[in-house]
């Protein structure tokens, strides 16, 4: 006879998903819509690197957020 275990889920992955989603929104704002003061305070090379970093970070954190949300739904 098969045993049935009752394992309670946690909200850890949900919290991580929301946190990473907020971080990705912030990176999207800075990467695609930077403030004029940021552009004025940096050289052209620094500004290009700033945009590249924020765009890369936005993609990575959005994927990580989706993975955490998926894990939360499946494990729940």
Q: What does the pLDDT profile of the chain (76 residues) look like in tens digits?
A: 677 766 677 899 999 999 999 999 999 999 999 999 999 999 999 999 999 999 999 999 999 999 999 999 988 6
Burial of 3 (0-12, 13-18, 19+ CB in 10 A): exposed
pTM score of the predicted model: 0.82
Please tell me what DSSP assigns to residue 3.
Answer: -
Identify whether 32 is part of a domain.
Answer: yes
Cα–Cα distance between 46 and 2 in angstroms, integer? 61
Domain containing 55 equals 12-75
Residue 1 lies in a domain: no
Count of domains observed in the chain: 1
CA–CA gap between residue 70 and residue 12 (Å, rounded): 12
Q: Is 6 among the domain residues?
A: no
Q: Does the residue 2 lie in any domain?
A: no
């Amino acid at each position: 006879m098969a045993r049935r275990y009752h394992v309670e889920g946690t909200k850890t992955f949900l919290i991580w998903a929301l946190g990473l989603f907020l971080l990705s929104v912030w990176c999207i704002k800075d990467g695609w819509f930077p403030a004029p003061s940021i552009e004025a305070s940096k050289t052209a090379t620094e500004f290009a690197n700033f945009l590249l970093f924020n765009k890369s970070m936005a993609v990575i954190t959005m994927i990580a957020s989706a993975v955490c949300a998926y894990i939360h739904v499946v494990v729940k």
